[in-house]
Amino acid sequence: MKRIHLFEWEDQSWFPVVFRNLLTDNLRYVGSKWPIFDQALPIVEKGMSKSNTDQVIDLCSGGSGPWLEFLNTGFSASVKLTDKFPNLSAVGLVAEKGKGQITYIKESVDATDVPEKMQGIRTLFMSFHHFKPDMAKAILQDAVNKNTAIAIFESTQRNTFNLLLSLPMIFLMTFICTPLVKPLTISRLFWTYIIPVIPLVIAWDGWVSHLRTYSPEDLNELVDSIEHVDYIWEIGKKSVPVPGSAMTYLLGYPRNQKS
Ligand SMILES: C[S@@+](CC[C@H](N)C(=O)[O-])C[C@H]1O[C@@H](n2cnc3c(N)ncnc32)[C@H](O)[C@@H]1O
């Protein structure tokens, strides 16, 4: 199945902040409470060890993704959360719970041009599919130009099952799971159960995310098309115990990192 890059609400700069934040909170719940990224941490740790860093610069962090959960497993590095449209209330809350190990940048950080002073392995969870091939290459090229490691993880995948079934499944799951999403505000309940904007937006964006996801073959093509000398790329896909999901990953790091 070919990659199709349809419209996502979340990509629109005019998309109301209230909906964007409710949506990224939902994604944090899925990314941290569902077993979709259970196999991600050893890959991040390998990238950190290969690039001699104990810092993570998380890009496109949204509501923070799975980081708090990772910390609970004993992950000891510092994590900096960043986003082009930061969800400050969510990352603020997570930073508080992260007790100094998680910090966040209030200003907008574009994943295609990360400030050089932000040193550490770059990570992207559930967000690489937001970028068309030119931008996706720019993200990889920026990491290479600044000689940093990068680890990308997706839980969506292109296949017939998701093409046919993921839209109604995600819609239904949003109704069922919303009481478990923090913070459980009046606004969340209103925009889910009274006027179901959030389930509709999540179902649409989730379905489109499946169709946009880069397969391991696509990721290999992307890294082949960027300029890099002596970078190692590890690309693969691991099954996860959630219907329709799989963890596709890309890890890139300089072959000979100076300490
Ligand atoms: C699917 S959401 C975030 C998912 C989050 N990493 C998680 O695991 O829950 C994608 C995020 O990418 C951000 N984003 C979109 N374009 C971006 C860009 N060019 N640079 C940085 N962030 C961007 C959006 O604001 C949004 O928060």
| Residue range 158-182, pLDDT digits in tens | 999 999 999 999 999 999 999 999 9
Domains of the chain: 35-157+213-254 (3.40.50.150)
Dist CA 61 CA 118 (whole Å):
15
Dist CA 92 CA 71 (whole Å):
16
Name 192's Cβ contacts closer than 8 Å, sequence gap at least 6.
Answer: 174, 175, 178, 198, 199
Residue with CA at minimum distance from ligand 1 atom 7: 65
Kindly give the distance from the C-alpha atom of residue 14 to the centroid of ligand 1, in angstroms, as a whole number. Answer: 15
Kindly give the distance from the C-alpha atom of residue 258 to the centroid of ligand 1, in angstroms, as a whole number. Answer: 31
pTM of the full structure? 0.95
Pairing of strands 231-239, 246-254: antiparallel
Classify 257 as helix, strand or coil.
Answer: coil
Return the CA Rg of the chain: 17
pLDDT in tens, the chain (259 residues): 899 999 999 999 999 999 999 999 999 999 999 999 999 999 999 999 999 999 999 999 999 999 999 999 999 899 999 999 999 988 999 999 998 999 999 999 999 999 999 999 999 999 999 999 999 999 999 999 999 999 999 999 999 999 999 999 999 999 999 999 999 999 999 999 999 999 999 999 999 999 999 999 999 999 999 998 899 999 999 999 999 999 999 999 999 775 5
DSSP 8-class letter at 85:
S
Q: Is 62 in the pocket of ligand 1 (CB under 6 A)?
A: yes
| Residue range 64-87, pLDDT digits in tens | 999 999 999 999 899 999 999 999
| Most informative mutation of 28, 83, 87 for ligand 1 (most atoms within 8 A of CB) | 83
Q: Is 86 in the pocket of ligand 1 (CB under 6 A)?
A: no
Q: Report yes or no: 84 and 111 within 8 Å, Cβ to Cβ.
A: yes
Q: Report yes or no: 104 and 89 within 8 Å, Cβ to Cβ.
A: no
Two tokens at 104?
A: 């966040």
DSSP 8-class letter at 3:
-
